Amino acid sequence: MPAGHRHEGAYRRLMLSSMAAMLASIAVCVSATSEPATVTEAFVTNQTGDSLTVVSLADMKPVAEIAIGGKPAGIAMSADGKFAYLTSPESKELVVVDAGVRQVANRFKVGEAPLGIAAHPTNGRVYVADWFTHKISVVDPAAGKVVAEIAVGDSPSGLAVTPDGKLLLSADRDSDAVSIIDVAKNVRTATVSVGKRPFGITIDAAGMRAYTANVASDDVSIIDVASGKLIGTVPVGHRPYAVALAGQHAYVTNQYASTLSVIDIGSLKVVQTIPVGDHPEGIAVDPAGANVYVACWFDNVLMRIDTAKMAVTGEAAVGDGPRAFGLFLR
Amino acid sequence: MVRALVLALAALALFPNLASAHGPTRQKATETVEINAPADKVWAVIGNFQDMSWHPAVAKLEGSGGNDTNATRTLTLTSGGTIEEKLLQNDPAKKTYKYEITKVDPKVLPVNNYSSTLSVKGEGDKSTVEWKGAFYRGFMNNDPPPELSDEAAVKAVKGVYRGGLDALKAKVEAGG
């Protein structure tokens, strides 16, 4: 065998082993930055009460209330769970809360009417939708400043990032559409027409489908993310607000109906309607999909719904006017 | 309450209603009254969506659809303004109904996106009536004039509820 070939073989082995090492490090990286296996606390924005209530999920008890100001509504948690990012539309601020020590760590102006908010899984950025300027601000929360802006449709509200971190989706409420944004370029690459006045938007764990709650048409739109096509519309209760995904089901908060609609995501049919408190709004699910948690704006409670029983199994008192618009568990 | 409405009317006449926006913070108001009468008797007075004669600020009601979901009614107030409403949910067994305002001039009531629930709970010979609403202020952009603020909206709605509930108590306790 010529020397060159032996060398080539050694080179190939080296390449293969280094590729294996790379793959292993990527796997470690992914598991380190993806959602934690369990969640223990809910961070609930109380808009009327101008505060944030921390609820212990094990016993559904409020364990802290933190003064915020500016009528906080939107919320996102950092990928590591160490920080909660809140939007306060009236003071036009992003408020950074140190989740462990329960204190405001920083606050700074972002746009004219910050509302929807999402944290990127890996790049450290926080995306803030601006109701009045029709842009998404790309925020470096550590530096406390806006580093870029992305033009989208009218009155962007809910935001969600695909689990791979490549795409950002924005529910553009007054355009009746969803914007799909290339995160690397901070540019909108597609627009998908959905129902009327989409508010909350949620992407599944595989990053394949997105679900919008359409406030004015009382339905949920389902989008295929890769193709940017609408693949279904499901009628739900009156004034749907947001969606959470657990296993085979999508749970939708219906503000006026005071219910959750449970959609089978295979058949795209409502299979159950669960009575909850008055004006259910923000909704989030634990990583195992065992429980969803719902902030009931009028009744000032966070409710726990067991997804196996499809019934309310607990509630915690929170501050006045809880909205918890975003992903609020850690 | 009528006085509050008239004041609100005077202030609101100067400003347009920007109903398409959705920027401000949603407000809530709840008022209750205890009545010395069983819940059935109270519900007999307020449970018909097509009858608001128990409210002193309502001069006339014209409606259609009875007490079915999506029934409508137009209230003409003693002050002259009108409010158009739609029945969202009706649950006579639980003695509660929920409705929304589909059209109102902010000169009449300085609110947007208003929904409300009226309900009665009884305990023996006594009952408690609760009237609660969720709404936005009359001025839907940032930085409202004080007359169109959140506070003005809450004050006006609470005035409507208080006036109605106090009159209801007097009417029912006087023998219906």
* Residue pLDDT, tens place only, A160-191: 999 999 999 999 999 999 999 999 999 999 99
CB B104 within 8 A of CB B111: yes
Residue A96 has pLDDT above 60, yes or no: yes
How far, in Å, CA of A277 to CA of B132, rounded?
A: 14
Residue B83 C-alpha, separation from nearest chain A C-alpha, in angstroms: 20
* Interface membership of B89 toward A (CB under 8 Å): yes
Confidence of residue B4 (pLDDT cuts 50, 70, 90): low
Chain A residue numbers with beta carbons less than 8 Å from the beta carbon of B142 are 112-113, 132
Q: Considering the entire predicted model, what is its pTM?
A: 0.86
Strands B58-64 and B72-77: antiparallel
How far, in Å, CA of A204 to CA of A247, rounded?
A: 10
How far, in Å, CA of B28 to CA of B136, rounded?
A: 9
* Interface membership of B25 toward A (CB under 8 Å): yes
Angle formed by the axes of helices B39-46 and B150-173, nearest 10°: 120
Q: How many residues does chain B have?
A: 176
CB-facing half-sphere around the CA of B13: CA atoms within 13 A:
7
CB A276 within 8 A of CB A254: no
The structural domains of chain A, with segments of one domain joined by +, span: 41-326
The complex scores an ipTM of 0.80
Q: What is the pLDDT of residue A20?
A: 53
* Interface membership of B59 toward A (CB under 8 Å): no
Q: What is the pLDDT of residue B18?
A: 35
Chain A residue numbers with beta carbons less than 8 Å from the beta carbon of B91 are none
Chain A residue numbers with beta carbons less than 8 Å from the beta carbon of B20 are 174
CATH class belonging to A41-326: mainly beta
A45: Cβ contacts below 8 Å, ≥ 6 apart: A52, A68, A72, A73, A74, A75, A86, A282, A322, A323, A324, A325, A328
Residue B1 has pLDDT above 90, yes or no: no
* Interface membership of B94 toward A (CB under 8 Å): no
CB A174 within 8 A of CB A188: no
Q: B121: which 2 tokens?
A: 């709970």
User: B142: nearest CA in chain A?
Assistant: A90
Question: Across the interface, which of A113, A238, A297 has its CB nearest the CB of B23?
Answer: A113
* Residue pLDDT, tens place only, A209-235: 999 999 999 999 999 999 999 999 999
Angle formed by the axes of helices B150-173 and B2-12, nearest 10°: 160
